[in-house]
Amino acid sequence: MKKIALIAILLAVGVAAGRAQESRQDISLSGTGIIEPFMASSTDVQVSANRAFGGLASYRFMMTPTSALEANYQMTYENSIHYVISNTNHYLVNTRTQEISGAFVKSFVYKNLNPFVEAGPAALIFLPIRNSGTTSLDVKQQTEVGGLYGAGFAYEISPSFDIRAEYRAWVVKVPTFADTQLTTNRWYNISNPVIGVAYHF
């Protein structure tokens, strides 16, 4: 009886240790870029922007060895969005962009190389910067809700770390910054290339 109890305890300890060693979560820090496309509209408003750079923090929880839920926060440094109205009036809005999003991630395991795809809802917060580069003082902070999708790969460099590279994109309405003269009534696809390092625990 004592032997059976001892074996049961040893098995329980072995299972607990095995689960403790299994990485089911990871956090990653990445450098990012944002590339906003040129957009023309039926309202005689044209929109373009220069590139922006920033940082992304992500948390993943593995539900199975190949599927996970992900939460993201990203913030970019200043970039300029350029509005042209009726080919005559020009407005520049210097802005910072924040992302808050969640996604379902599907991975495909090939030894140390793990390609993945992801998709989910996203909110982008456009924060106008009131400085000499912003030519309209009527602009206000605006939040747009849309979608996130992406594909990339993680290369495992150790059991605890991997290098992660991805093409992500957001589909959201073109921001107006609460200024009706900047309305386009259009959606656009913002490209968001990402590269960083993830830690598994």
What tens-digit pLDDT sequence spans the chain (201 residues)? 445 544 445 444 443 334 444 679 999 999 999 999 999 887 789 999 999 999 999 999 999 999 999 999 999 999 999 999 988 899 999 999 999 999 999 999 998 999 999 999 999 999 999 888 888 778 999 999 999 999 999 999 999 999 999 999 999 999 999 998 899 999 999 999 999 999 999
pTM given for the model:
0.84
Distances (CA, A) of 52 to 10, 49, 143, 149, 194: 55, 9, 18, 19, 12
Alpha carbons 139 and 159: distance in angstroms, whole number: 48
Terminal Cα distance for the chain, rounded: 38
Q: Where are the beta strands (DSSP E) in 36-112?
A: 39-40, 45-49, 52-64, 67-76, 79-85, 89-107
> What helix, strand, coil percent values describe the chain, rounded to 5?
10, 65, 25
Give the chain's domains with CATH numbers.
Answer: 24-200 (2.40.160.20)
8 Å CB contact between 155 and 116: no
21 backbone dihedrals φ, ψ, rounded to 5°: -80, -15
Q: Which residues pair with 81 in a beta bridge?
A: 49, 93
Burial of 191 (0-12, 13-18, 19+ CB in 10 A): middle
